[in-house]
Amino acid sequence: MSLKAPAHILNIAPYVPGKPLEELAREYGIRDAVKLASNENPLGPSPAAMAAVQAAMANLHRYPEGSAPELTARLADRLGVPPASIVIGAGSDEVIGMLTRVFLGPGDEVILPRPAFLMYEIMTRCDGATPVPVPLTAMAIDLAAMARRVTPRTRMIFLTNPNNPTGGILKQRDFEAFLEAVPPDVIVVLDEAYIEFARDPEGVRGIDYLRERLSDDSDDARPIVTLRTFSKAYGLAGIRVGYGVMPPRMAGLLHRVRQPFNVSSLGQAAALAALDDDRFLQDTLRTVHEGIDYLSAQMDRMGLSHHPTEANFIFIRMPRSADSVFQDLLREGVIIRSMTAYGFPDHIRVTAGTPAENERFVGALARALGKEQPA
């Protein structure tokens, strides 16, 4: 039997996830490993979210409410946007897929940074459209270069803000110039999976642009989309909830292709509870900011260059191949990401963990590179 898949599917390079803890236990027999590879929350899930999931379990035999109305209403209230502008997905990954399915087809071009989150390219190819990658300049998304690549075929532009893997945030002034330069019918997607961690007051917050425009004249609102997620700052990566905010006209089209029960009842309950658990969010932000500041200081002490980060991870240059450093750290039970697959064979990306996890990473890295141990 021959299985025939179309060429645009065969052209997709599979997504490579961070190494799971279970795999390390199997391969190396290490049981106390720390995983700083997937930008997950160092504090675990919000206790309120866990309690809400427990309570929601009694109704597991029921279908969830398809459009997650309660979560949508709460988000709309918090963000100051109309509920009709919100589409909730099983992770923001799913919203990326809905966007590409609704708006892209063969012949369309999608401008994206390279390197970037792999889902933009995977989903673009899934829908038969053509990715147009634009390299980073000085480790940052080059908005001017991206605007110059717009052609009459350009339908969508993906921007990651703060950027993964480098951690930089777009500046308001640059973003406004970019919006001026890009034709107003091109869809601009700001993926803000890490925006809660951002500290730079001059950094772009996509919601601010949307809020202004949506309250203005929603029918004419420019097609700007902000994607956010419960996977990072809210500690719910395992239960899969994310969302997009966009002009209601666009959201209506996404709802047409959305699977009717795409977000599980447990996911909806967890997200709703996490949203109100402000203490957990504040604890998370404090832990992450202290972790980033500690890691930055330790990298400076070891003379390792790193990129200023507005996210919950740090992008660090290694004096030798990142893959070899990754292997050395793995043997010590510390999982980080080598950036070789992203085109940076001499960089690693490390998620800020708890103080103990960060110290364990720094100790292991110092041993691997023959540097002095921290005081």
The residues that touch ligand PLP, with contacts defined as CB under 6 A, are 39, 91-93, 117, 160, 164, 191, 193, 229, 231-232, 237, 242
Which residue is closest to ligand PLP by CB? 91
Min dist. Cβ of residue 207 to ligand PLP (A): 16
Q: Which residue lies nearer to ligand PLP by CB, 91 or 131?
A: 91
Q: Which is nearer to ligand PLP, 298 or 309 (CB)?
A: 309
Q: Cβ 251 to ligand PLP, closest distance in Å?
A: 17
Note the residue count of the chain: 375
Quote the tokens at residue 78. 């918090």
Note every long-range contact of 35-38, with CB atoms under 8 Å and residues 24 or more positions apart, other chains counting. Answer: 35/335, 35/351, 36/313, 36/334, 36/335, 36/336, 36/350, 36/351, 36/352, 36/353, 36/357, 36/361, 37/335, 37/336, 37/337, 37/349, 37/351, 38/237, 38/337, 38/351
Pairwise CA distance, residues 166 & 349, whole Å: 8
Closer CB to ligand PLP, 271 or 364, in the complex: 271
In this complex, which beta carbon is closest to ligand PLP, that of residue 166 or of residue 298?
166
Looking at the Cβ atoms of 311 and 364, the one nearer to ligand PLP is 311
Q: What is the distance between the alpha carbons of residues 276 and 282, in angstroms, rounded to a whole number?
A: 11
> Between the CA atoms of 120, 125, 131 and 136, what dihedral angle is there, to the nearest 10 degrees?
40
Residue 234 C-beta: closest distance to ligand PLP, Å: 10
Residue closer to ligand PLP by CB (options 87, 193) is 193
At closest approach, how far in Å is the CB of 55 from ligand PLP? 23
Cβ proximity of 157 and 191 under 8 Å: no
Residues 33, 21: contact at Cβ < 8 Å?
Answer: yes
CB of 345 to ligand PLP, least distance (A): 20
Q: Which is nearer to ligand PLP, 307 or 368 (CB)?
A: 307
Min separation Cβ 232 and ligand PLP, Å: 6
Spatial CB neighbours of 94, under 8 Å, sequence gap ≥ 6? 240, 242, 262
The encoded tokens of residue 72 equal 């949508």
Ramachandran assignment for 167, one of left (phi > 0), alpha (psi -120 to 50 degrees), beta (any other): left
Q: How far is the CB of 358 from ligand PLP (least distance, A)?
A: 20
Q: Which two tokens stand for residue 221?
A: 């609102």
